Amino acid sequence: MSIRPPSVSVVILNHNGGKVTVRCVKSVLASSYPNYEIVLIDNASNKKDIQLLRQHFHTYPHITFIPHSENAGYAEGNNLGAAVSQGKYLVFLNNDAIVPSNFLEKPIDILRKNPHIAFLQPKIKWMRNPRFLEYAGGAGGFMDFIGYPFVRGRIFGSLEEDISQYDDERDVFWASGVALYCRKAVFERLGRFDPYFFTHGEEEDICFRAHRVGLRVVYSPSVEILHIGAYTGNRNVARKTFYNHRNHLVLLFKNLKIRELLLVFPIRIVCDIASLLYYLLHYGSRKTPLSVIGAYVSFFVDFPQIIRARRLYKIGKFGYPQKTGLIYRGSIIVDYFLFGKKRWSEIFNLAFPKGKIAKIF
């Protein structure tokens, strides 16, 4: 007699992306996994969008559709989805992703066999050209010592061609929220996503907390997922820039030791000023560089709230994880913009095969 596999809840958010979301949900419905549900959260979309989703999915008993009265963002929207989910395992899936039919079997099996893994990310490829790894996830996330995130297969706007150079399962610092696998119990234990982040950086924050209690974050190439890339964020570059800069300041102040902050924060200010000047030169509008200033204003205005969050989410010891290779001790900005290093292998001086590079900005 075969044993039924553990239950999985796939949480998908929609915000005025109806047609894209329909395509995503249909790919999930083609799953070969026999024990899953879909929790579809609508983040205050227009009536036409909500009608479209109801029209397509109202007859599926294993789809729970919850329209939210306001846009709660990625963080709180997914928290709501997790709260109503019935599965032992969760998959937070971006609505502009397409999954293969076997996207649940292997990752869930890895989590089931390895209780010390908190989060798992599959290989994420660029839907517009699947030869290349994708901006938001690639082959697993890392961070330099001043808090700038990057991924294997993507350094800033340079995407690497996938020629199997990242077909190794390995520990990473953070796993992408494009397709984030975890146990529901671990997600709850770590305090869920911090709603303050709204969008961008919340997965890095919760992975930080996982490391602080001795859990692992893992990349597995066993499944390949296609992702359009920043479907909602691309509509407003300035808004995306604001959240990226503000949230990574918050990330540092919530998680680092005091002595690390005293070293990192002044360097971070200098790098963000350089970013502001870069935006002035490369964007026709002033909105994007002004969003960097807005990020700092918001950070200082909300500083008391951020300090409270530091106390609220205190799990284990503060500070960067000590495990070798998870935090890059150099500066990704210096390596990329001054030394022209556009590949993971070039950053770490590794003898990896080198495919083509696609520049997206």
Write a three-state SS string for the chain.
Answer: CCCCCCCEEEEEEECCCHHHHHHHHHHHHCCCCCCEEEEEEEECCCHHHHHHHHHHHCCCCCEEEEEECCCCHHHHHHHHHHHHCCCCEEEEECCCEECCCCCCHHHHHHHHHCCCEEEEEEEEEECCCCCEECCCCCCCEEEECCCCEEECCEECCEEEECCCCCCCCEECCECCCCEEEEEHHHHHHCCCCCHHHCCCCHHHHHHHHHHHCCCEEEEEEEEEEEECCCCCHHHCHHHHHHHHHHHHHHHHHHHCCHHHHHHHHHHHHHHHHHHHHHHHHHCCCCHHHHHHHHHHHHHHHCHHHHHHHHHHCCCCCCCCCCCCCCEECCCHHHHHHHCCCCCHHHHCCCCCCCCCEEECC
Q: Please tell me whether the overall predicted TM-score, pTM, comes out greater than 0.85 for this model.
A: yes
- For the chain, the structural domain boundaries read 8-232, 235-315
Q: What are the pLDDT tens digits along the chain (361 aa)?
A: 467 899 999 999 999 999 999 999 999 999 999 999 999 999 999 999 999 999 999 899 999 999 988 999 999 999 999 999 999 999 999 999 999 999 999 999 999 999 999 999 999 999 999 999 999 999 999 999 999 999 999 999 899 999 999 999 999 999 999 999 999 999 999 999 999 999 999 999 999 999 999 999 999 999 999 999 743 444 578 889 999 999 999 999 999 999 999 999 999 999 999 999 988 888 767 888 899 999 999 999 999 999 999 988 888 889 998 777 899 999 999 999 999 999 999 999 888 888 999 998 8
**Which fold would CATH assign to domain 8-232?**
Spore Coat Polysaccharide Biosynthesis Protein SpsA; Chain A (3.90.550)
